[in-house]
Amino acid sequence: KKKAVFFICLYILQGCFEEPSDLILPINSPDQQATIKCEAEGNPPPQYRWSLNGTLIDLGNDYRRHMSGGSLIIRNLDKDQDTGVYQCTAFNKWGSILSRQASLQFAYLDKFKIQTARSAVNVREGQGVVLLCGPPAHSGELTFTWIFNEYPYFVQQDNRRFISQETGSLYIAKVEPTDVGNYTCVVNNTITREKVLSSPTPLVLRNDGVMGEYEPKIEVHFPDSVPAAKESAVKLECFALGNPVPEISWRRTSGVPFPSKVKMKNSNAVLEISNFQQEDAGTYECIAENRRGKNAVRGRISFHAKPHWLQTMTDTALSIEENLFWECKASGKPKPSFSWLKNELFLFPQGRVQIENGALSIAVLNLSDSGMYQCVAENKHGIIHSSAQLMVLASPPSFSKSPLRALLKARSGSEVTLECKPEASPPAISLWKKGNEILQRNERISLLPNGTLKITNVTRQDAGSYTCIAKNQFGTATTTGKLLITDPTRITMRPTNMEIIVGESIVLPCQIARDPALDVSFSWAFNGQLIDFQRDSDHFERSISGDLMIRNIQLNHGGKYVCVIDTDVESLSTSAILVVKGPPGPPDKVTVEEITDSTAQLSWTPGRDNGSPITGYIIQARTPFTVGWQAVDTVPEVVNGNMLTATVVGLNAWVEYEFRVVARNTVGLGEPSPASSKTRTEDAIPDTAPTDVGGGGGTRSELVITWEPVSEELQNGEGFGYIIAFRPVGTVTWTRAVISTPGVARYIFRNDTIPPFSPFDVKVGAYNNRGEGPFSSIASVYSAEEVPSVAPKKVKARSVSAVQIEVIWEALPAIPERVLGYEVVYWEDDTKPDTVGKVRISGNYTLVNITGLNANTVYYLSVAAFNTAGPGPQSAAINTTTKKPPPDRSPLNIQWTMIGSTLTLHWDPVVAMEAESKVTGYLVGPSALQSSDLSLELTAILQHAHYSLDNYLIQIKAMSEGGEGVGSEPIHIHQLSEFTVLFPSTYHYLFDQL
C-alpha cells in the first residue's frame, strides 16, 4: 500500500513544529491509503482533532478515516472527497494549538483525445518549424520526449532541435531533408509513471524551393518575471529558429559573471541555476545570433522565501497583575505578516491586549489569561507557527524550595548575606527578626529591596537565630536559620619555590590552624588545573593533612602549584613555583650545509635546555647499511653547548646519509632531533680492496679465484667492479681480468695449458668510474686438479639389518692424483639410474654404513675415490639384499610378579610371518617415569649397572636380524633394586639381585 506521511511536531508545554510539505499522490488502486502524522507533547498527554478545508472531520461517522494516536489514517482514498487542506489541533487542560496547513492532492494524466491523424506540417528546406504537443488534462509534473517515425527512435536534441519541458513542443531551427517523417509526442507523469502518446504529426517538405537565410526568431523564451524560491533549482528555456542555425548565449544585464553553479545545457537552450539565493536575482538576457543578425529576450528572476523564525517566545510563568510582553521575529521574501492565537482562536487588540506586528503585550494579567499562545508568520509562500504556554500564578508565600540554611557559619570580620527568596504570586513583602527583635538598618546592617539581609564586619555578637517573614494578599510564611561566627583560618606551613631533577620525588607542605567548628578540605591546582588524584595517582598523592607528594617527577610537572584550603566560611590559597631540570629537549632543523666524499658540514637549532644549560652535542648518522643510528667523528672533536655547527668526518663516499643531533647537559642526554634530509656524499676512487681472496678446485684446465665482495657501502661510486690479477708462482708478468658486476665473488680462468694442481699468485682489486683502487694482498691458489685415475678394489657389502648395509673396500695405493676421500653410490634397480643414492666419507676411511634403506630389497653399490675435481672411476658394481623387516607386533599378555628384590615376567611369544625376520630374542628395557627414551644405548647401559630406584617403566621388544620389533605397553615397576637383561629364546625372565 502507498502511504503518504506528514510529520507535524506540536509541543503543548514547549512548542515546536516540523513543517511538512504539500503532498501530491498517484491514484493506483482502490485500497490506497495515506497517513498524516501529528505528534504533540504535553502533561497531561494531549488529545487531537482534524479539520479538512476548515471543517471539523467527524471521525465517529466516517468509516474511511480514523485516528491512531494523533495520526489521521485515510483508507480507500477518493480524489473527490479527500483532496484539500488538512489541519491538526492538539489540546489538553492547559489549552490548544494548531498545526500548519498541508494540502493533499492527487496526480493523474488523461489520454489524448481520440482524434484522426494530425494534419501534416509543410515546410520548405531551411525553414524553421514548431510541432505542438498539446498535452492532455493532468495533475503533477510532466516530462516530454518525441518519437521520430517509430519506437524506439527518439528525437535527439542538439543546437538545431529542442524539446521544451514547459510546453512539450518540438522546435527545429532549420529543417533539413533528413527531418521528413512522422513525429509523436510522448508525455510522462513523473508521479504516476503514466505515459501517453499523441497521434503522429507528419512533417513534409514543400517543393517550391529552398528557404533563404534569415535572422534568428526566438520562439521559446521565459516570462518577463520569474519568481524563484530560496535554495530551489531555476531553469530558463530559450530557443530560436533561423538560417543558419542560431547560436544561443546568456548574460546578466548587470554584467556580473555567472558563478560556477550556473550550468548551460542542451546547446545553451537551457540555463540552470542550482541552490538559488538572493544574490542570483536580477535580469537575465538570452541572445540568439547568426550571420544574418541577432535577437534577444529578457526576463527578471525575483527572489522569494517562505517565513523563517529569527526569534520566538518561550514558555512563561508570571504572577497575577504582572505584565506580559512576547515578541517573535521572522524573515521572508516578501516580508511576512504576523498574527496571534490563544487556544487556536485569533487574538485581536482590545483593552489590556495589544498586538503590533510580531509583538503581543497583555497588561495586568489575571488567571483567565493562562493558556497556549501561538505566533503565526505568513507570506504568500508559506506559513509558520511558534507556540508557548503562559501560566498566570496566584499563591501565598512559601519557603519550601528556598529555606534558610539551618546553620550558617561566617568568619569573624567578614560580610554575611542571608537571602529571603519565597515563592509567591504576587511577590511577597519581607522583614527580618533576630531572636524576637525586628532588625533595623544601621551602618553594618542592610535590608535590600529583594528581601536580602546583609551584615558587614560580623562579630561574635552577631551570632544567633535569624527569621525572614514574607507576606502577600494570599498569606504569610517564615523561615529561620542560625548564624555561627568562627575564628579566621591561618596557613602555618607553606610550600616554597624549588628546583628538582627529573625522576626525583618531593613533598610540598600545606599546613593550617583552624577553628574546631569548621569543616576543611584541601585541593591542589597545577598550572591552573585541579589535580585529579585518582587519574594521576602514578605521580601525585595528597596527605590527610594537606601536603602534596610528587613522585618520579617529569619535565611536564614543572610549573605553579597552588594549595587551596576551603572551609565553611572562607577559601585560602598558597602557591610555589617548581622548576624541573632534565636532559635537554631535541634540537631541530638539522641541515646539511655542505658535503664532500668524506665530510659533511651540519647546522641545527637548539632545543629546550629544560632548566639546565646545554653543555654539548653528539652527532649521529644512519645509512641504508647501518643498524640504527651510530655516533660519528666530528671536527672539532668535542662540540660544546654554544656551537650550532660541526663538520662530520670519516664518511664513506657515495653513500646516502641521514644525520641527527643529541644535546646533553649536567642532567644527562636528551632526546635526538628529527633526522635531516637524506644526502649522498660525493663519489671517489675505491679505497677498500676485496678480502678473503682464495679459490682452487674446479674442473680440468681451470683456475678458480674467489673473494669476499666489497659491500655497497664501500664502493665509493657508480660503475663499481673488480680487477683480477694472477700469475704462475715464480713468474713476473700478471694476467688481468675485469668483472663489472659488484656482487660477483668468483672468477674462473680456463686454459688448456694450465698444469693440474699448480700454484698461482692471485690478487683482486676494485675500481669505479673515478678510477682504480688498491689491490688485496697476494694469495696462493692452486689450479684445478685431475680426478683420481684408479677405482677402489675388493669392494664388499653385507646387510646389517632391514634398513642398513655395511660397505668395505681396500684403500687406493699412492697415485699421481690426490685422494680426499671415497664416494659410495647405490641404487635399487640396475636399469633406472635415477634411483641412485650417494654417501661420501672424507679421509682414508674404507668402511661406511648406509642407512634409511628399504627392507628385503636388492641394492647395487659402487665405490669411487674423489678430490676437488670430482669422483674418479667407479669400482665394479656389487649387490646385496637388506634383511627382512622385524615383526610389527609387540609381545602380548605380559604378567609380572615382584617378591622382595626378584622380578618375574611372563609374556606370549611373537611369531614372525614369512615376510618378516625370525625372532632371535627379546629386549627388556627400563625407563624412568619422566623419560620416553627406550633406545638401545639406554638398554645397554642398564645391563651393566646396579640401581636402587623406585618407579621404573619396563618395555619388551622382539629382536631379529632385521632389527627391533614393536615395543609392548610400558609396565610400571615400583622399588626395583637392580636390573639385568637376558637374551634366551624362552619367554620367562628372572630379575634377581646379584
- Please report the pLDDT score of residue 7 as a whole number: 33
Which string of DSSP letters, residue by residue, matches 700-742? TTEEEEEEEPPPGGGS-SSS-EEEEEEEETT--PPEEEEE--T
Q: What is the mean pLDDT of residues 567-587?
A: 93
Q: How many domains does the chain have?
A: 9
pLDDT tens sequence across 881-923: 999 999 988 888 888 888 877 778 889 899 988 888 999 888 8
Per-residue model confidence (pLDDT) at position 433:
92
Counting Cβ atoms within 10 Å, is residue 128 exposed (0-12), middle (13-18) or buried (19+)? buried
- Residues 625-651 have a mean pLDDT of 95
Does residue 543 or residue 704 have the better pLDDT?
704
Answer yes or no: is 197 within a domain. yes
pLDDT for 853 beyond 90: yes
244, 116: one domain: yes
Long-range Cβ contacts of 549-554 (<8 Å, 24+ apart):
549/505, 549/506, 549/507, 549/508, 550/505, 550/506, 550/507, 550/508, 550/578, 551/505, 552/503, 552/504, 552/505, 553/500, 553/501, 553/502, 553/503, 553/504, 553/505, 553/506, 553/580, 554/502, 554/580, 554/582
Position 115 scores a pLDDT of 66
How confident is the model over 162-172, as a mean pLDDT? 94
Tell me how far apart the terminal alpha carbons of the chain are, to the nearest angstrom.
104
Residue 273 has pLDDT above 70, yes or no: yes
- Mean of pLDDT values over 851-874: 93
Which residue type occupies 200?
P
Binning pLDDT at 50, 70 and 90, where does residue 522 land?
Answer: very high
Establish if 860 belongs to a structural domain.
Answer: yes
**Grid coordinates standing for 126?**
531551411
Q: What is the CATH number of the domain that holds 424?
A: 2.60.40.10
- 986 pLDDT exceeds 50? no
Q: Give the E-state strand segments of 929-983 in sequence order.
A: 946-949, 952-960, 963-964, 971-973, 976-978
Indicate the average pLDDT of the chain: 88
Alpha carbon 908 to its chain's center: 72
Handedness of CA 960, 962, 966, 972 (dihedral sign): positive
C-alpha cell at 868: 676437488
Q: Are 26 and 34 in contact (CB under 8 A)?
A: no
CB distance 107 to 140 below 8 Å: yes
Q: Cα(270)–Cα(237) distance, rounded to whole angstroms?
A: 5
Output 675 or 79, whichever has higher pLDDT. Answer: 675
- Note the pLDDT tens digit of each residue in 202-225: 999 998 888 999 999 999 999 998
One-letter-per-residue 3-state SS of 599-633: CEEEEEECCCCCCCCEEEEEEEEECCCCCCCEECC
Separation of alpha carbons 345 and 593, rounded Å: 85
Is 820 in contact with 842 (CB distance < 8 Å)? yes
d(CA 105, CA 85): 9
| pLDDT of 139 above 70 | yes
Is the distance from CB of 638 to CB of 646 less than 8 angstroms? Answer: no
| Residue range(s) defining the domain that contains residue 428 | 395-486
* Stronger pLDDT, 989 or 248, i.e. the higher one: 248
* Position with higher pLDDT, 29 vs 373: 373
DSSP β-bridge partners for residue 735 = 726
Maximum average pLDDT range among 90-99, 187-196, 280-289: 280-289
Residue 980: which pLDDT band, with cuts at 50, 70 and 90? very low
Write down the pTM of the prediction: 0.45
pLDDT bucket at 241, cuts 50 / 70 / 90: very high
Predicted confidence at residue 749, as pLDDT, reads: 96
For 834, residues 6+ apart whose C-beta sits below 8 A from its C-beta are none
* Residues whose CB is less than 8 angstroms from the CB of residue 61 and which lie 6 or more positions away in sequence, other chains included: none
Q: Is the predicted pLDDT of residue 948 greater than 60, yes or no? A: no
Residue 976 has pLDDT above 80, yes or no: no
Contacts of 666 (CB under 8 A, 6+ apart): 612, 613, 615
Q: In the Cβ-directed half-sphere of 693, how many Cα atoms lie within 13 Å? A: 22
Q: Are 766 and 806 part of one and the same domain?
A: no
Residue that terminates a domain, selected from 661, 681, 701: 681
Please state which of the ranges 440-444, 623-627, 973-977 shows the lowest mean pLDDT: 973-977
Q: Does residue 583 fall inside a structural domain?
A: no
Is residue 947 over pLDDT 60? no
| Rounded-to-integer distance, Cα 347 and Cα 341, Å | 5
Dump the DSSP string for 811-867. PP---SS---EEEEEEES-TT-GGG-EEEEEESS--EEEE-SPPTT-EEEEEEEEEE
* Cβ burial 843-873 (10 Å sphere, 16+ → b, else e): eeebebebeebebebebbbbbbbbbbbbbbe
Residue 318 sits in the same domain as residue 381 = yes
**pLDDT surpassing 60 at residue 664:** yes
Asked if the model's pLDDT at residue 942 lies above 50, the reply is no
Identify whether residues 126 and 262 lie together within a single domain.
Answer: yes
* pLDDT confidence of residue 418: 93
In a domain, 936, yes or no: yes
**In this prediction, what percent of the chain has a pLDDT beyond 70?**
91
Domain assignment present for residue 49? The answer is yes
Question: What Å distances lie between residue 233 and 2, 227, 229, 263, 282, CA to CA?
Answer: 28, 11, 8, 11, 15
Q: What is the CA radius of gyration of the chain?
A: 55
Average pLDDT over residues 140-148: 93
State how far the Cα of 104 lies from the Cα of 171, in Å rounded to an integer. Answer: 36
Per-residue cell: 645: 655547527
* Helix or strand holding residue 48 (H, E): strand 47-52
Domain final position from 57, 91, 107? 107
Q: For residue 472, what are the β-bridge partners?
A: 475
Q: Based on the domain organization, do 336 and 299 belong to the same domain?
A: no
22-36, 81-95, 203-217, 764-778: range with lowest mean pLDDT: 22-36
Q: Using pLDDT thresholds of 50, 70 and 90, give the confidence band for residue 82.
A: confident
Fill in the amino acid letter for 685.
I
Residue found by looking up cell 550571420 in the block: 291
CA proximity to 965, closest of 906, 909, 926: 909
Q: Give 634's strand partners.
A: 648
Domain check: are 797 and 866 in the same one?
A: yes
pLDDT, residue 935, reads 33
Q: According to the model, what pLDDT value does residue 963 have? A: 87
DSSP conformation class of 183 = E
Average pLDDT over residues 702-727: 95
pLDDT tens, position by position, 751-796: 999 999 999 999 999 999 999 999 999 999 999 999 999 999 999 9
Query: Do residue 389 and residue 428 come from a single domain?
Result: no
- The more confidently predicted of residues 835 and 916 is 916
Is residue 983 situated within a structural domain? no
Strand partners, 601: 594, 647
Burial class (CB in 10 A: 0-12, 13-18, 19+), 210: exposed
Angle, vertex CA 674, rays to CA 670 and CA 675, nearest 5: 120
Q: Specify if 956 maps to a domain.
A: yes
Give the pLDDT of residue 105: 87
Instruction: Estimate to the nearest angstrom the gap between the alpha carbon of 415 and the chain centroid.
Output: 58
Final residue of a structural domain among 347, 365, 393: 393
Q: Is the Cβ–Cβ distance between 631 and 672 less than 8 Å?
A: no
198 and 128, same domain (yes or no): yes
Question: Do both 426 and 539 map to the same domain?
Answer: no
Residues 638-644 have a mean pLDDT of: 94
Give 347-400 pLDDT, tens digit per residue: 999 999 999 988 999 999 998 999 999 999 999 888 999 999 999 998 999 999
Would you tell me how many other CB atoms lie within 10 Å of the CB of residue 23? Answer: 16
Residues 252 and 171 in one domain: yes
389/43 Cα distance (integer angstroms): 12
What pLDDT was estimated at residue 540?
94
The answer as to whether 993 is a domain residue is no
Q: Please indicate, yes or no, whether residues 379 and 406 belong to a single structural domain of this protein.
A: no
The pLDDT of 788-808, averaged and rounded, is 94
Cis peptide before 152 (omega within 30 of 0): yes
Same structural domain, 948 and 867: no
Peptide bond connecting 397 to the previous residue in cis, omega within 30 degrees of 0: no
940 pLDDT tier (thresholds 50, 70, 90): very low
